Structure formats: structure tokens, C-alpha cells
Structure 1
Amino acid sequence: MNPQHQALLEQFRDYLEESEQWEPIKDTQEDTQEDTQDEQKIDLFTLFSELSALKNEVKHESRQLKEALSRFGELFDTLQRNQQRLERAQDEVQQTGRDAKIEAQREILLEILDLRDRIESNEQFLQSHQPGWLHRMNSREQQFQDDLQQGLEITLRNFDHLLQHNNVIPIATKSTPFDPHTMRVEAVEQRPEQSDGAILGVVRSGYLLNGETLRTARVIVNKLQENNSK
């Protein structure tokens, strides 16, 4: 066999050997692709199963969330109603406290007014009192009376300042008609020169507290007789 033929045989033998080596590799690649496809099928099935379970879990949690929101709404409504009841109760307590405070204030102010009336009565008595000549001759007694009257006047001014500070003002009776809401008839007189219902005098002064009647004024009212003609 010549060298050329020998070289061709060796090349052909090498080709066969290479062909035998490529076949198993081809089979291995096909097996690998099949395994990969199977794994992909398994992974997709697992994925769909997990997604389905997740969907059911989300639905379940959504129902629980709706129930929780519903219960929370009921609790919130109950809390709001209780809060409103508490606010009303607090308002009632505050109103009761205010009413009690106002009533206590009225009682104290009425006592102050009674005390002021007594002091004013004594001051008017000293002012209108005319001592005899023997008393006027005694300078010490006259000075004592003057000092006493001056002290009563100062005390009355202090009372008036205290009343004014607490929004207590006297009821106007001069040149005003009779007002049944703030006045009470103590006596009736007949003076033709005065209009019917005119205030002729004040027996006891009346006062207003914050614009409302604290103590009614006792007054003397002019009452004209009507001429009944047939």
C-alpha cells in the first residue's frame, strides 16, 4: 500500500472515530433539552399552583379585612356616641356649676344690698337730723356726728363700687313709667299734675345684675281715676 492510500485510510478512520464521538454528545444534548422542558413544565405547574393559593389567600385576607373594617366602623360609631354623651354630660355639669355659681352670687349680692340699705337709712337719718342748740354747743359731739356721717357716705360709695364691679346697677325710676318686670307697686297716690303710671317715689331701690332683675324696686305709682261718663 502506497503512502498516499495509507494516509487516506487514516483520515477515514479518524473521521469514523469523530463521528462516533459526536453521536453520544448529540444524545446527551437532546436528553438535557428534554429534562429542561420537563423542569420548565414542573416549574410552571408549581408557579400556577402557588399563584392560585396566593389568590385564595388574598381573597380570604380581603374578607377578613372587610370584616375588620366593619367592626372598626361599629366601634368608631360607638366611640363617637359615647364621646357625644360625655360632652353633653360635661356641658350639663358645667351648666349646673354655672347655675349654682350664679345663684350663690345672687344671694351674696342680695345680702350686700340689704346691708347697704341699712347703712343708707342711717346716713339719711343723720343727714336729716337737726340737733338742738345744746347739742350744737358741744363741738365734740357735733364733730363726732359729722365724722360718722362722712364715714357712712364713704362706706356707701365703697358698696356702690363693689356692686358696679359685679355688674350690679340700680334700676332707673326717675322720669320713667311703671315697669312690672323690674318694679313692684308699694303704694298708689293720685296726682292730677302727673301722668297716669308715673313713679312718684321709691320705697326701696331695685337693681339689675347683668341686665336681669336682681331685686325689684318698690315704688309709689300715680293712679288717676277714670271719669266714667254715660
Structure 2
Amino acid sequence: MTAMTPVLTDLQTLAPTALAGQERERVERLVEEFRAYLEDAAQLPEPGDAWDGDDLESTAPAVDLSTLLAEMAVLKNELRLQSRQFKNTLDELRCFGNDLRAHSERLQEELERAREQAASIQGQTTRQFLLALIDLRDRLQSGVDAARRPPSSFLERLLPGPTRLAASLAEGQRLTLQRLDELLAGHRVRPIRVVGETLDPQRMRVVGLEAATGSAAIPDGSVVREVQRGFFHDGELLRIAEVIVSKKANRT
């Protein structure tokens, strides 16, 4: 501190001569701060002085080994409890996941069954609708065939008026029948060709026999006439055909 005193004196001596006004006040404030710093530094021990460690030891808390072990035991118990709770939670989550998986599988099975039932109901409904259209076609076909037959009585041939009216009605039925065939074809319904074919029990039903003459070239068991037309729908049998097959007459 005594070594720094001349420096402070020189600063105080030079300050009034070199500076004025605010600069002078600022220098004096700096000098006062520097003096306070030197006074605080003088109170610190010199590097060569002996260090007294009693103060530091007195401020440091004492470590109790038994307390430390007790705290470690409590911490261990808490960790064991947390681990048990975590394991229980994990088991519950696993059970919940298994239940959820089983429930999802049941829902998937029920959905598949519902789809199959819906497809079956739709197939049955479509089949009934197509059979109803085919029945309507049979009725129209019967009307058209009846109109094509020539008049059976002399009175009908004599009066052309009713004949022309019947012909116009038959033409209307024919056009309706043609439109109905187009509608069936649009639903992938096609007729079964049976005339001239060999009898197939899978798609034909015999409703009559017709004896073939000896000169006829029709093989025995062949279809000679169709009574009711059969139909396929998407390659599957929709309605079986009713046919009359040939049978050679027994010769005596």
C-alpha cells in the first residue's frame, strides 16, 4: 500500500493541471475506485504466508457415512418399486394389446362373413331378377310365335282387318322381345344352344321323345326340338333347357 501512495499523489497532482470540468471529476472518481481496490487487496494474505484451513473446514458440511448408506438404501427401494410398477404397466399394456388384436381379428372375420352374405344376397337377387326377365321373354316369344302362324279358319282369312291388327301387335311384341334380348345380353346372359346337340344332363332336361325315321340322319339321343330355352349367366347355368330328343323306332 505504501508503494502505491506516490502514484496516487502524482495522479491527484496532475489531475487538476491537466484536466478541467467533467474530465477532472471522472479522473477523481477513477482514483477513488483504484484506492478502494488497493485497500481491499492489502487485506489478502501474501503468497508466502501460511494458509489457515480452519475456516474452509468449518464451512464444509460433515459427511455422515450411515446417513449416506441410509439414503442409498431408500433410493434402491424406490428404484425397485418403480421397476415393479413399470413391469406391471408393461404387462397390462401387453394384455391390452392381445385383447385388441383378438378383437380386431373377430371384427375382420365378421366383416368377411358380412361381405360373403352380401355377395350371396346380391347373387340371389340378381338371379331372381334375371329369371323374371327370362319368364317375361318366354311369354313374349309365345305371343310372337302364335302371331306367325297362318289363320286357321276361313273367316279369319276372309276378314283382313283383324289379321293386320294382329300382325301389328306381333311386330310390337317382336321389337319388345328384341329389346329384352339386348337387356339380357347386357347382363351377360346368353342362351344355350341345344338343337342338334347330344343330350347333356347337366344343362338339359328331357321332356319328350321323338321317334326318328330310318332314313333320318339324326343320331339317337340328339336334341331335335327345344321346348324351353336354357340360359347361362357369367358362364354358370342360370336355367336348364327343356328339350325333346330323338329315339330310333324299334324294328320288328
TM-score (norm: length of structure 1): 0.72
Q: Which amino acid aligns with 1:34?
A: E
Q: For structure 1, which segment, 215-224 or 198-207, has the greater mean C-alpha deviation from structure 2 after superposition? A: 215-224
Which secondary structure state, in structure 2, belongs to the residue aligned with residue 186 of structure 1? strand
Pick from 99, 106, 120 the counterpart of residue 85 of structure 1: 106
Pick from 213, 219, 230 the counterpart of residue 237 of structure 2: 213
Q: What's the CA shift for 1:162?
A: 1.8
Are residues 1:202 and 2:226 paired? yes
Ranges in structure 1 where 5+ consecutive residues have no aligned partner: 1-21
Query: 1:39 is matched with which residue?
Result: 61
Query: 1:160 is matched with which residue?
Result: 181
Aligned pairs, number: 202
Deviations 1:56-92 (CA, angstroms, capped at 9, x unpaired): 4334323322221221111111111112112222222
Query: 1:6 is matched with which residue?
Result: none
Which secondary structure state, in structure 2, belongs to the residue aligned with residue 195 of structure 1? coil
Q: What's the CA shift for 1:225?
A: 8.1
Are residues 1:126 and 2:150 paired? no
Q: What's the CA shift for 1:26?
A: 6.0
Distance 1:144 1:226, change over 3 A: closer
| Mapped contact 2:151–2:157 kept (Cα < 8 A) | no
Distance 1:171 1:51, change over 3 A: farther
Deviations 1:88-142 (CA, angstroms, capped at 9, x unpaired): 2222223223222222222222222122111101101111223667655655434
Note the 1:50-199 alignment, pairs <5 A: 53-130=74-151, 135=156, 138=159, 140-191=161-212, 193-199=217-223
TM-score (norm: length of structure 2): 0.66
Ranges in structure 2 where 5+ consecutive residues have no aligned partner: 1-45
The structure in which a higher percent of residues are helix is 1
Could you tell me how far apart the structure 1 residues matched to 2:234 and 2:71 are? 79
Could you tell me how far apart the structure 2 residues matched to 1:225 and 1:41 are? 127
Q: For structure 1, which segment, 163-172 or 117-126, has the greater mean C-alpha deviation from structure 2 after superposition? A: 163-172
Could you tell me how far apart the structure 2 residues matched to 1:124 and 1:93 are? 46
Percent same amino acid at aligned positions? 29
Q: Which amino acid aligns with 2:239?
A: R
Deviations 1:148-193 (CA, angstroms, capped at 9, x unpaired): 1210111101111221222221112144322212111111234362
Could you tell me how far apart the structure 2 residues matched to 1:180 and 1:197 are? 11
Could you tell me how far apart the structure 2 residues matched to 1:65 and 1:94 are? 43
Could you tell me how far apart the structure 2 residues matched to 1:45 and 1:130 are? 129
Distance 1:26 1:33, change over 3 A: farther
Query: 1:19 is matched with which residue?
Result: none
Could you tell me how far apart the structure 1 residues matched to 2:89 and 2:250 are? 84
Q: RMSD of the TM alignment (CA)?
A: 3.4
Query: 1:222 is matched with which residue?
Result: 246
Which secondary structure state, in structure 2, belongs to the residue aligned with residue 41 of structure 1? coil
Could you tell me how far apart the structure 1 residues matched to 2:249 and 2:159 are? 53
